[in-house]
Amino acid sequence: MKISEIAARIGGEVFLNGQLDCEISDIRPIEKAGPGELSFLANMDYERYLTITKAGVVILSEKQSTLTFAQIIHKNPYLAFAKAAQLFQKNNTTFTGVHSLAYVDPTAELGKDITILPFAFVGKGAKIGPRVFIHSGAYIGEFAEIEEDSTIMPHVFIGERVRLGKRVLVHANAVIGGDGFGFAVGENEIVKVPQTGTVVLEDDVEVGPLTSIDRAALDVTRIGRGTKLDSKVHIGHNVQVGKHCMFAAFTGIAGSTRIGDWVLMGGHSGTAGHIEIADRTKIAGMTGVTNDTETNVTYTGFPAIPAPEWRRLQVHQRKLPEYAKMIKNLEKRIADLEQQVSASTKSSS
């Protein structure tokens, strides 16, 4: 692909800077890239490499005509790099079509140009859109629907009636549409409440390895467009997650909680059930949110409080031994004073 075509595809501006609009063969880090290769500078720690890089073209946020290589100008070079990197992704696939060692129910509907590898299982009435890739050992339940260009990695479980949008990527061993954790508790028994709802993953959702998203009790557990879940996230039943959220590993969302758009959650964080997390809330790692949150606020700790207050309390907590000493010292000084005052009162009487 030529420099100008890459620029057009990633929404950047070409600045050839006197160089040829040459063919680019790969993307590499700035200190390793050579002629005919693309690199980028997003982190100023690496600025020194600009004068010595051998890259054929570099993505920068501003034109630098004193440098000697071709440039693609984009206000967010890391984003531009990510888009460019996708253009150069290689596909190692051994096979396309439905492999003879896969099991596909005869009532399943298969789109064009799909791939279904050995030991994958596609249940009755499932609808698989064009160019969907179903890896070895993946399980697609009855009447599940997967739209075009989605990828299901090995050993993924997609439960019955679950619906996936376009370009959804589900990593190995994830479980989409297992039963929600719903029980009625009697005096001598715990009785399962059948979980008859389902799960919807909207377009461009990515689900990490070993992540689970439970089906709703009656309605739908939903993950909004473009949201990215890391490994080992757990989403309880009836949860609604908005668009463009990012949840790190071990994030847990308890049942029926509603989460807005662009919410960030750190590793080992969690929320209680039945609460509302506002748009653009940030939740730090190891933080447990027990109440509704406010937009654009960062929360930390358990129970979660706004991060600046949490940091202030941390400072005070570290000083507790000092405060204890101060209190004891004050007590002694007061006792002394009381004695002196009492003595002087007596002596003056």
Instruction: Determine if residue 318 is left, alpha or beta; phi over 0 gives left, psi from -120 to 50 gives alpha, anything else beta.
Output: alpha
| Selected binder of a second copy within 51, 65, 89, 112 (CB under 8 A) | 89
Q: Kindly state the greatest CA–CA separation across the chain.
A: 110
Residue 291 beta carbon to a second copy: minimum distance, rounded to whole angstroms: 13
Which region among 13-21, 46-54, 64-72, 171-179 touches a second copy (by CB under 8 A)? 171-179
Counting contacts by CB under 8 A, is residue 244 touching a second copy? yes
Identity at 262, one-letter amino acid code: W
| Selected binder of a second copy within 203, 252, 282, 306 (CB under 8 A) | 252
Residue 320 beta carbon to a second copy: minimum distance, rounded to whole angstroms: 4
Counting contacts by CB under 8 A, is residue 121 touching a second copy? yes
Compute the chain's Rg from CA coordinates.
29
| Selected binder of a second copy within 58, 201, 248, 263 (CB under 8 A) | 248
Q: Could you confirm whether 237 is annotated as catalytic?
A: yes
Helix (H/G/I), strand (E/B), else coil: 218: coil
Q: How far is CA 77 from the centre of its chain?
A: 21
Which region among 50-58, 64-72, 111-119, 275-283 touches a second copy (by CB under 8 A)? 111-119
> Phi and psi at residue 259, in whole multiples of 5°?
-120, 130
- Calpha distance 126→219 (Å, rounded): 19
- Calpha distance 223→15 (Å, rounded): 40
Q: Which is nearer to a second copy, 47 or 309 (CB)?
A: 309
Place of tokens 């190995």: 172
Ranges within 129-158 binding a second copy (CB under 8 A): 135-137, 139, 141-143, 153-155, 157
Q: Which is nearer to a second copy, 16 or 87 (CB)?
A: 87
| Selected binder of a second copy within 15, 133, 250, 299 (CB under 8 A) | 250
Q: Which helix or strand (DSSP H or E) is residue 220 part of?
A: strand 220-223
Ranges within 189-228 binding a second copy (CB under 8 A): 189-194, 196, 206, 208-210, 212, 214, 218, 226, 228
- Calpha distance 37→243 (Å, rounded): 34
| Selected binder of a second copy within 78, 127, 279, 297 (CB under 8 A) | 78
Counting contacts by CB under 8 A, is residue 320 touching a second copy? yes
- Calpha distance 306→315 (Å, rounded): 15
Q: Which is nearer to a second copy, 16 or 246 (CB)?
A: 246
Which region among 17-25, 44-52, 60-68, 182-190 touches a second copy (by CB under 8 A)? 182-190
Which region among 15-23, 56-64, 230-238, 274-282 touches a second copy (by CB under 8 A)? 230-238
Write the binding mask 30 to 69 for a second copy: x where contact by CB under 8 A, - elsewhere.
----------------------------------------
Contact 41, 30 (CB under 8 A): yes
Among residues 237, 244, 274, 316, the one annotated as catalytic is 237
Identity at 314, one-letter amino acid code: Q
Counting contacts by CB under 8 A, is residue 330 touching a second copy? yes
Query: Angle at which helices 320-348 and 307-318 pack, to 10 degrees?
Result: 60
How many chain residues interact with a second copy (CB under 8 A)? 113
- Calpha distance 207→230 (Å, rounded): 6
Counting contacts by CB under 8 A, is residue 318 touching a second copy? yes
| Selected binder of a second copy within 20, 183, 294, 296 (CB under 8 A) | 183
Counting contacts by CB under 8 A, is residue 302 touching a second copy? yes
Alpha helices in the chain (DSSP H): 3-10, 77-87, 307-318, 320-348
- Calpha distance 298→283 (Å, rounded): 6
- Calpha distance 175→207 (Å, rounded): 9
Q: Which is nearer to a second copy, 68 or 340 (CB)?
A: 340
The residues assigned a catalytic role are 237
